[in-house]
Amino acid sequence: MTRRADPEIAPQSSGSAGLLTIDLDALAANWRLLRDRMGGPQAGGACAAVVKADGYGLGALPVARRLAAEGCTTFFVANVEEGISLRQALPEPEIFVLNGLLPGTAALFARHRLAPCLNDPEQVKGWLAFCTGSSPSPAALHVDTGMTRLGLDPEDLEELDLDAAHALPGLVVMSQLACADEPGHPLNRRQLADFAKIRPRLAAARASLANSYGLFLGSDFLFDLGRPGYALYGGNPTPSAGANPMRPVVRLQAPVLQLREIRRSRTVGYGASACTGPPAHIATLAAGYADGYLRAISNRGAVFVDGCACPVTGRISMDLLTADVTDALRAGIDIRPGTLVDLIDDDHTIDHVAERAGTIGYEILTGLGSRYRRRYLGAVEAALPEQSGP
């Protein structure tokens, strides 16, 4: 797919910052696709949305408000602060806090109607005691079946008052898969078996096992509540199968600040790690590692003008990167100061950029810097009626 470079956008009010476009319609379509994998409400399957780390860097509030408007009624955040800010925007949905219940924070959870993911026996006892003293409040029991990170050991369940836990409203029993991105990994089946063993003891609880990848492992991994994050934001939940069933959500563009004609052989950037000689043109763009365009991409990745690849040449610096635009100019593409160049687009996704950087798309998303001008496509509250103006 080719796109016109749009030089008119950059020099306006934004000055020389990059432009981050977040497509809320694509996000909503991704959520609906994942919800349908859960069988939809008719089949009893529900799909939550994980919006921790500010919605994987894309803005937890616009993301969650749009998904709530689509019908998503359950959200997961990492910590209480994220939960409070989400609650202020969304009074209705249930909000689970993955990082658990630290001592002395139960009242804070209750005040904002946040549900803790109870990760060890002390947290379970603490929450049950708090609920006895006030009122039974929702929570999740997080059982560790293979991450050794957060969660109760299955043996911990023996010493707990599961009847009391079972009586909590809206109880969820959950676990997290360690290797769901590798469908053939034997740990997937082992974790599934261990999780299935626990479930009858908390029969009334909603069971939740699948993250983005888990939703594509087979119907026995689905249980009652899907818990995707990455795939909502366009990440590929089926990396071993190749084609990405999700719609891209993110487009990242940076303006050209300067176009250099190379008239004699010279080195480019810190460390003189690249050389270029005439005839060549180097464009300097307003994005660097401080904007989350990782330094590991130096001399490895490419940026795109009108779909034409321009290799990243030389080291990426804090605020700038340099790209060889010789071929694009030769192809007749107009490049000048202000021209917006694609760093991430529909054809060069977060997964592609991550591969170039030797990391995962999660790190690309959550590392997106704060300097970009952010533009949201699609309504934030699609299903809600227009608000009447004052």
Ligand X SMILES: *Cc1c(COP(=O)(O)O)cnc(C)c1O
Out of 230, 293, 372, 376, point to the residue binding ligand X (CB under 6 A): 230
The minimum distance between CB 343 and ligand X, in angstroms, equals: 22
Write the interaction track for ligand X spanning residues 18-57; mark x where CB under 6 A is met and - where it is not: --------------------------------x-x-----
Buried b (16+ CB within 10 A) or exposed e, 253-282: bbbbbeeeebeeeeebbeeeebebeeebbb
**Chosen residue from 145, 176, 322, 326 binding ligand X by CB under 6 A:** 176
Distances (CA, A) of 226 to 16, 191, 208, 211, 382: 41, 16, 6, 6, 22
The DSSP result for 96-111, as a single string, is: EETT---TT-HHHHHH
Among the listed residues 62, 126, 229, 269, the single contact to ligand X using CB under 6 A? 229
Return the DSSP state at 16. Answer: T
C-beta atoms surrounding 24 within 10 Å:
24
Q: Which is nearer to ligand X, 10 or 198 (CB)?
A: 198
C-alpha span between 165 and 174 (Å, rounded): 14
Cα separation, 153 vs 131, in Å, equals 23
Q: How far is the CB of 230 from ligand X (least distance, A)?
A: 3
Listed ranges 84-92, 227-235, 251-259, 369-377: which one lies at the site for ligand X (CB under 6 A): 227-235
Q: What DSSP state is assigned to residue 312?
A: B
212 touches ligand X by CB under 6 A: yes
CA distance 235 to 245: 9
Residue type, 225: L
Quick one: 235 or 301, whose CB is closer to ligand X?
Answer: 235
CB of 83 to ligand X, least distance (A): 14
Decide whether 118 or 268 has the Cβ nearer to ligand X.
118
Tokens 């008719």 correspond to: 42
CA dist 235 and 252 (Å) reads 15
CA 153 to chain centre: 28
Which of 64-72, 228-236, 330-338, 347-355 is the region at the interface with ligand X (rule: CB under 6 A)? 228-236
How near is the Cβ of 47 to ligand X at its closest, in Å? 11
Q: Cα(372)–Cα(99) distance, rounded to whole angstroms?
A: 29
Q: Catalytic site residue 52? A: yes
CB atoms near residue 108 (< 10 Å): 15
Minimum distance of ligand X from residue 23's CB (angstroms): 18
Q: Look at strands 46-47 and 225-226 and give their pairing.
A: parallel
Given the rule CB under 6 A, which of 27-35, 226-234, 255-263, 371-379 is the region that contacts ligand X? 226-234
* Contact track, ligand X, 233-262, x by CB under 6 A: ------------------------------
Give the nearer residue to ligand X in terms of CB position, either 47 or 252.
47
Closest residue to ligand X using C-beta atoms: 229
Least distance from C-beta 92 to ligand X, angstroms? 21
Is 376 tagged catalytic? no
- Return the H-helix or E-strand segment holding 187: helix 186-198
Among 123, 211, 253, 313, contact with ligand X (rule: CB under 6 A): 211
Which of 213, 230, 270, 362 is labelled catalytic?
A: 270
Residue 50 or 303: the one with the smaller Cβ distance to ligand X is 50
Cβ atoms of 6 and 340 within 8 Å: the answer is yes
DSSP three-state, residue 227? coil
**Angle value at C-alpha 359, between 249 and 285, nearest 5 degrees:** 65
Interface with ligand X by CB under 6 A: which range of 14-22, 152-160, 183-191, 223-231? 223-231
Q: Spot the catalytic one: 52, 289, 372, 376.
A: 52
Site string for ligand X, 91-120 (x = CB under 6 A): -------x----------------------
3-class SS at 262?
strand
Q: What residues are labeled active site?
A: 52, 270
Enumerate binding residues for ligand X (CB under 6 A).
50, 52, 98, 176, 211-212, 227-231
